[in-house]
Structure 1
Amino acid sequence: MGLFKTTFLVLLLIAVAISLAAQFGLLGGRMPNDLGTRDGRLKPPSMTPNSVSSQAGLYPDHPQKAYAQIDPFPVIEGGPQTLQRLRRIVEGMEGAKVVKADPGYLHVQFTTRWMRFVDDCEFWFDPRAGVVHVRSASRVGRKDFGVNRARVEAIRARLAG
């Protein structure tokens, strides 16, 4: 067998193995056990460029502070009402699953269709600041290629519209 055929066969086997691993949920990662709020803060951004957070500025020495920073959501008709609207928006999005919904907090898992990667997205109503803070992060991998930011901005656009 020639080098080309061997290389092609190896790449094909790798692709099949990755595809099977994805379909069995092996690429989704484990749900972090430290989500939610603590002392008025969501979890810090990831140490790698695969997350966004409206509270990234609270961590001035964080290596991903500049990459991760995103604006919080405005409150519309009160914090709990805004979270209810956000819940309705995300429930209509592909791959979304609401994990936890309280009057002041919402946690949503987004699972990609083909590779079954999972991102955790959190929304928290901050009554002192009068905004809804957001954090969205990939469970696995070092980069998300802007997926979390694009998703949060798409949710923001739907909330405004």
Structure 2
Amino acid sequence: MKLLLTLIAVLIIAALIGLSVMGMMSKSGGAPGLISGKLSQCPESPNCVCTEFQIDTDHYLPPATYNSNEISTVRKQVRAAINASGGELLRERDNYFVATYTSGTFGFVDDLEVRIEQDTKQIHIRSASRVGYSDLGANRERASKLKSLLGGV
């Protein structure tokens, strides 16, 4: 019984160390950026969501839409939504935004990218983990929350 408890304790400690190391690893890197004017497609892992590629049903989320004719109003709303959802805006250029979100427990860093498409009046979102495989739905939840904060722009 004592050996079993020791083994369980060692496994728990190893898992916590592994998660801490992954959290530190996620601090390097960054958002992939635009490719041919669009957000990057998600990798095969389930820790990413993107509104650009409807054909990728595992990672797809419909884009947000807006009605305003003033793009400055839409940009302001995107900045406010990122801030309200706990993101740190790192970069803004024209109609493209990059932000990061950091988890509390192990400090995992996720990247969020937003692209405003003026022709279709859509706001495209990509949210992805930098490390690991599963995110327990955190990126889908974040993108959905951002969409709801942008509703009615």
Same fold, TM-score > 0.5, yes or no: yes
State the aligned residue count.
Answer: 151
Name the counterpart of 1:42: 39
97, 112, 126: which is aligned to 1:121? 112
Alignment of 1:11-160 (within 5 A): 11-18=11-18, 20-21=20-21, 25-32=23-30, 34-35=32-33, 37-57=34-54, 60=55, 65-77=56-68, 78-94=70-86, 96-160=87-151
Q: What is the one-letter code of the residue matched to 1:48?
A: S
Whether the aligned pair in 2 keeps the contact of 1:99 and 1:108 (CA below 8 Å) is: yes
Name the counterpart of 2:8: 8
Report % sequence identity. 24
TM-score w.r.t. the length of structure 1 is 0.80
The residue matched to 1:137 in structure 2 has which SS?
Answer: strand
TM-score w.r.t. the length of structure 2 is 0.83
User: 1:80, CA displacement in angstroms?
Assistant: 3.8
Q: 1:136 & 1:80 partners in 2: Cα distance?
A: 23
User: 1:27, CA displacement in angstroms?
Assistant: 4.1
Whether the aligned pair in 2 keeps the contact of 1:27 and 1:115 (CA below 8 Å) is: no
Whether the aligned pair in 2 keeps the contact of 1:90 and 1:155 (CA below 8 Å) is: yes
> Which aligned runs of 4 or more in structure 1 are off by greater than 3 angstroms?
18-22
Provide structure 2 residue ranges, at least 5 long, that are not aligned to the other structure.
none
- Kindly report the root-mean-square deviation, in angstroms, between the aligned alpha carbons of the 2 structures: 2.3
- Going from structure 1 to structure 2, the CA distance change for 1:80 and 1:54 (only over 3 Å counts) comes to farther
| Cα-to-partner distance string for 1:76-130 (whole Å, 9 max, x where unaligned) | 4233422221211221333x21110123111110111112111111111112222
Q: 1:49 & 1:79 partners in 2: Cα distance?
A: 32
Whether the aligned pair in 2 keeps the contact of 1:50 and 1:146 (CA below 8 Å) is: yes
User: 1:12, CA displacement in angstroms?
Assistant: 4.3
Q: What is the one-letter code of the residue matched to 1:101?
A: E
More displaced stretch, 13-22 vs 38-47: 13-22
More displaced stretch, 25-34 vs 45-54: 25-34
Provide structure 1 residue ranges, at least 5 long, that are not aligned to the other structure.
none
